[in-house]
Amino acid sequence: MKLSFKNMVAAATVLGVSLAAGVSANAQDTLQDVMKKRGLTEKDILSAAKTYTPTGGRDEFIAFASGGQSGQIIVYGIPSMRILKYISVFTPEPWQGYGFDEESKKVLAMGNMNDQEITWGDVHHPAISETNGEYDGRYLFTNDKANPRIAVIDLHDFETKQIVVNPVFKSNHGGAFVTPNTDYVIEAAQYPAPLTNEYVPLSQFNEKYRGGVTYWKFDRKKGRIIPEESFTVEMPPYSQDLSDFGKGPSDGWSFTNSFCTERYVGGIENGRPPFEAGCSQKDTDFFHMVNWKKAAELVKAGKANKINGHDVLSIDTAVKEGILYLVPEPKSPHGMDVSPDGKFMIVAGKLDTHASVYSFEKIMGLIKAKDFAGKDPYGIPILDMKKSLHLQLSVGLGPLHTQYDSKPCIVYTSIYVDSQVTKWNYCEGKVLDKLNIHYNIGHLMTMEGDSVKPKGKYLVSMNKLAIDRFNPVGPLHPQNHQLIDISGDKMQLLYDMPIPLGEPHYAVAIAAETLKPIIRYKVGWNSREDVKHEYRSRPGREKVVRDGTNVHVYGTLIRSHITPEIVEVEQGDTVYFHMTNLERAQDQTHGFAVDMHNANLSVEPGKTATAKIVAKNAGVFPYFCSEFCSALHLEMQGYLLVKPKGTKSDASGPSVGTKYTEADYKGELATIKGTQDVINSVVGFITSQNYTDFKPVVALVEDATDQLNFAADAEKKHKAAAEKKDWQNATLWAQQHFQYQVKAADIGLRAKTYLEEHGSKTVKK
C-alpha cells in the first residue's frame, strides 16, 4: 500500500472534474415541496427571492452600523443582510490584531483619557465622508458616547486610523455627522458637566455645568482630524442630542436637538423624583442652530477662549455675534434630519406623537427680522415654534428618527412605542403607510438617506428588542435589524437579521460600487500610519538585532514558513517581532502568535506588524501562524527560546530526528516529477483557454508562477546538496521543492475550476 502521490493526484483530478460536472439540483425537490415542508407562504418566497444572494453574488448596498457598547463598527450587505466585517474601533480585538500589534496600540492610546486606559467605546453614529453632499466612500467617522471621542476609519482598508479625545466634554452623543464636503465633523455633548475638568457640586448645576457642540476640522488629504484647528461652541446645560449639518440653502448651519431643557437633576435615592420624571416635564425642548461657518471665522479672529487648551466660543459671544438660536421642538426628541435639498429639518419627539417639519426659509426670515419669541435663561434668542414650522403631523406613539426616500417628499419615521414604521409625505403632511416591526425600533436607515441624493429601494429598521424573533440564546438577546422593501407604494417586510454582537444605534448605507477598498498593501507597510514600516523586511534580509535588552526581529511570513524559525533571547528581554507578510495574493493573510505571551498579529498581504513581548520567564515557547493559510499551515511554526540570564547558547544546533539516505532523495525526485506532470496538465488547460479575460484567474496565475519560482530556488538547493552527497539536506530541500509545487497546484486547480464555472473558451490546443 505505497502512497503514491503522483498517481493519486492524477486520479483525483480527473474524478473531481467529471463528478463536479455531473452535479445538479435534486430532481425530487420542487419549490412546492420545500414551501410545504418549511411552512413558507408565497409572500415568503418573494421576500426570499428579493434577499437571497447566490454564491459569488454581490450586495447592492453596504451598511455601516455602530456596534454600540461593543466599541466596533458592523459592516453588512443589503439586501442579503449578511455581516461582512466587524471593524475594531475603540475595543481591542485579536483576530484583527487590533490592540495587540504595536501599530494599532498607538491608535488606541490616542483615546486614553482621565489618566485611564480606555479599552471600549459606546459607538453611536457613524457617518460616511461626503463630496458635494454625496457619499464618496473614502472615510467613516464615529463617536463614543461614554468616553467623548471621535474615530476616523479609512475605507480604503477598513482600518481605524485615528482617535481624538474631546478635551471639554464628559460625554457626548450628537456625532458624528459631516459637512457636505467633509470639512468638519460634528460632536455634541450629552449630559451637562463642567467644561473644565474640575469638581463642581450639583448646587451649581445651572451656573457651571454646560453643554456644547464641537466642530472637528478634517484634513481630507491626510485623512486625519486636526485637533488644533477644531473648536467648540458652548451651550446651556441642556442635554444636547442628535445633530445634522445643513446643505444647499442651509449649508453653513448645524442643528442639534436636546432634551432635559428643564435642567432637572434627579436623586431618587433621596426621595427626589428620578431624572426620567424631571427631564420629560415640558411639552417642548429646543434645537440649537449654529452658523458654523461664521463660528469658524470668529475662532480664527481670536474670539474663542481656551479651555483645556481647546478653543471654545462662549454662549455670550455666540449670541452677540448672532450665530446661535434656539427653536422649540417636541419633547425628548431624538432625530434631527435635514432634507436632501436642505430646505427642511424634520424632528420627532419620543414623548410626542408628531413629526415636525421645520422650514429653513421661515427660520431665516424670523432671524433676519429679529422676530423672536423670547430668550432662554442664558440669553439665547428663542424662535416661535409655530412660525418656524412648515407643518406637523401625527405619525404614531414615540416617533424617533426620520430618513429620506429617493422619491420627492417621501420619508419614513421610526415609531418606538407603537413598534412601527410610518411612511409619510412631509411636503403635504399625509400619512401614507404603516408597518409593524419587531420590536421597539430605534433609528432607521434608507440607502444614502443622509445625503443629498438618497437612493431609496430599501429601509432597515434597527429594532432594540428581538424577544421572540430568533432561536433563544440565553438572557442576552441579539438585536433585530429588519429589512423593508420601499420600492413600491406599500412597505414590505423582507428579512429579520440578528445582530450577534453589539447594539447598533445608527447606521449609514452606501452604494457598494462607490467603495474601492484595496486588496493588498505595498510590501513592508505600516497600515495605521500609511507609511513604509521602519522595521520592514524583505526575503533573504531577515535579521535579529539586539539593542541592550531590546531584541528586534525583522521577520517575514510566506506560505508556509516563518523566518526566522528559531529566536533565542534572555529572560528579561523585550522582544519585538516585526513581521512582514510577503504574499501578494488576495486573501492570503498570515497570523503570528507567540504562545503564552499574549501576542497575536493579523498580517495582511504586504503589511508589517509588530508583536512586542516581554520575556518574563525562561522556557520554550512555540510561535506559529494563526491563520489557516495553506495545506502546511500547522507546520508554519517556530520556537522562542528564553534562556535564564547568563546561560551560554548551545551552538550544537537542533538534534536530528529522522535521517535520510540517497534512496529517500530519489523517492522525492520521483514525487516531484509526478507532481510536475499534474501541474503541467493544469497549466496546459489554463493556457489553452482565454484565461486573460478573467481577472481573478490572471491573479491566480501570477501567484502560481511565484510559487513555481520558489520551487526553482529549492530545486537549486537540493541539487547542490545532492552533488555533495549531503542526502539529509538534499532530501529536505527536495521536499521543500515539492511543497511549493503543492501550493502551485492548489492555486492552479482553483483557476481551472474558475474557468470551468465561468464558461471560458478554448483559444489554443
Residue holding cell 463642581? Answer: 200
Give the nearer residue to its own copies in terms of CB position, either 323 or 355. Answer: 355
- Given a contact cutoff of 8 angstroms between Cβ atoms, the answer to whether 148 and 164 are in contact is no
- Peptide bond connecting 92 to the previous residue in cis, omega within 30 degrees of 0: no
- Say how far apart CA 735 and CA 723 lie, in whole Å: 17
What are the C-alpha distances in Å from 185 to residues 127, 244, 292?
9, 10, 11
Give the nearer residue to its own copies in terms of CB position, either 637 or 681. Answer: 637
Q: C-beta of 666: minimal distance to its own copies in Å? A: 14
Q: C-beta of 153: minimal distance to its own copies in Å? A: 10
Give the nearer residue to its own copies in terms of CB position, either 270 or 762. Answer: 270
- Peptide bond connecting 358 to the previous residue in cis, omega within 30 degrees of 0: no
Give the nearer residue to its own copies in terms of CB position, either 159 or 183. Answer: 159
- Say how far apart CA 217 and CA 61 lie, in whole Å: 28
Q: CA torsion, points 68, 72, 77, 81, in degrees to nearest 10? A: -50
Order of strands, sheet of 134-144, starting from the edge strand that comes earlier in the sequence? 127-131, 134-144, 149-154, 159-165
Give the nearer residue to its own copies in terms of CB position, either 138 or 145. Answer: 145
Q: C-beta of 298: minimal distance to its own copies in Å? A: 28
Q: C-beta of 745: minimal distance to its own copies in Å? A: 6
Give the nearer residue to its own copies in terms of CB position, either 133 or 638. Answer: 638
- Say how far apart CA 52 and CA 68 lie, in whole Å: 28
Q: What angle do CA 580, 582, 588 make, to 5 degrees?
A: 105
Q: C-beta of 454: minimal distance to its own copies in Å? A: 20
Q: C-beta of 1: minimal distance to its own copies in Å? A: 5
One-character DSSP codes across 199-217: ---GGGHHHH-BEEEEEEE
Give the nearer residue to its own copies in terms of CB position, either 165 or 181. Answer: 165
Q: C-beta of 336: minimal distance to its own copies in Å? A: 14
Q: C-beta of 18: minimal distance to its own copies in Å? A: 9
What are the C-alpha distances in Å from 676 to residues 7, 16, 741?
12, 19, 7
- Say how far apart CA 378 and CA 370 lie, in whole Å: 18
One-character DSSP codes across 41-91: -HHHHHHHHHH---TT---SEEEEEE-BTT-EEEEEEETT--EEEEEESSS
- Say how far apart CA 288 and CA 279 lie, in whole Å: 18
Give the nearer residue to its own copies in terms of CB position, either 279 or 323. Answer: 279
Q: What are phi and psi of 733, to 5 degrees?
A: -70, -30
Three cell numbers written together for 606: 504586504
What are the C-alpha distances in Å from 546 to residues 269, 562, 567, 646, 649?
60, 19, 12, 15, 15
Give the nearer residue to its own copies in terms of CB position, either 339 or 413. Answer: 413
Which residues face 420 on adjacent strands? 415, 436
Q: C-beta of 305: minimal distance to its own copies in Å? A: 19
Q: C-beta of 623: minimal distance to its own copies in Å? A: 9
Give the nearer residue to its own copies in terms of CB position, either 276 or 297. Answer: 276
The 3 state secondary structure assigned to 711-758 is HHHHHHHHHHHHHCCCHHHHHHHHHHHHHHHHHHHHHHHHHHHHHHHC
- Given a contact cutoff of 8 angstroms between Cβ atoms, the answer to whether 388 and 359 are in contact is yes
Q: C-beta of 557: minimal distance to its own copies in Å? A: 12
Environment class of residue 724 by beta-carbon count within 10 Å: exposed (0-12), middle (13-18) or buried (19+)? exposed
Give the nearer residue to its own copies in terms of CB position, either 249 or 267. Answer: 267
Give the nearer residue to its own copies in terms of CB position, either 163 or 466. Answer: 466
Q: C-beta of 339: minimal distance to its own copies in Å? A: 21
